[in-house]
Amino acid sequence: MRPNFVSRTLAALALVGGTVALPADAVAAGRTQPDLLVDSMTTDVLNPAEGETFAAQIDVRNWGNGDSGPVTVTVSIPAGLRTDTPYAGSGWNCTVTGATSYSCAYPQLLAGQRTRLTVPFVVAGATPGTTVPITATIAPDRRESNTGNNTGSVTVAISGTCVVRGTVWQDLDRDGQRDADEPAAGPDTVLQVILNARQGQAVGGGYATVAADGTWSVTARTELLYDVRIEVTGQYGRTVADVGDDATDSDLVTVYQTSPTVLLGSAEFIAHDGGEYVVDGGLVTQG
């Protein structure tokens, strides 16, 4: 095993630039250099709303072959957001610099080491439906080889309010259109309406029940992807979708479940602040 391992390693090293590359720890101490970078930035909530607190997660990495000195990261506070009490206990020490940035310190990043910096924000005066950018910048280490990757950013969408509504009816002639003589499907038939948020890190969604006239409505958060799911009793299915006039057609395109109840679903749509989204459902009897 051992001779084979050594020969493969030397062969691999020999391919680097035509010369034998030495492992990092064999380079003279003065030649090793850190390369700090913002590896990725995310937020723990995709669509926070006015007054809510969320966190920016900043992955900082030393991509170089040498250990860094002390690391300082400045995180900008854009208009529409404000700072909150910095988190403790991660090894990072953050202070608020004026009202416009955090200054966060970490003792050192060894070659190849990665760490996550998490800072809190409160939505304060941002316009619903807009996106707000957050930027993080690592101060260059004095021996750093590459400072072009020391900045990263993420945008966060500010939630507003929309209305999602619809009508469920019985499509007696199965033509996909609601005709004047076709009755509503009331609460005896429609068990619940679910407004389903598709993205795990988004906050939103809700439930509704239909009225006797088959209508339902949910007021919901925005700047996220939804679909509507309508649960009906087992003897019903969906009629053909998207046939003819959209104002009087059925918008249920998917069957998620057929027993013991039937779960029907709409297509996905992105909800924006101030929007009104109509999802109607036409039912037909099964079997």
Binding site for Ca ion (CB under 5 A): 35-37, 146, 149-150, 171, 173, 175, 177, 179, 246, 249, 251, 280
- 78 vs 275, which CB is nearer to Ca ion? 275
First-last CA distance in the chain: 68
- 36 vs 164, which CB is nearer to Ca ion? 36
- Size of the chain, expressed as the number of residues it contains: 287
- 131 vs 215, which CB is nearer to Ca ion? 215
- 227 vs 280, which CB is nearer to Ca ion? 280
Cβ atoms 157, 203 nearer than 8 A? no
Closest distance between Ca ion and the C-beta of residue 116, in Å? 17
Question: Alpha-carbon distance 65 to 27, whole Å?
Answer: 9
Closest distance between Ca ion and the C-beta of residue 106, in Å? 15
Chain centre distance of CA 76: 21
Closest distance between Ca ion and the C-beta of residue 177, in Å? 5
- 54 vs 226, which CB is nearer to Ca ion? 226
Closest distance between Ca ion and the C-beta of residue 247, in Å? 6
Closest distance between Ca ion and the C-beta of residue 149, in Å? 5
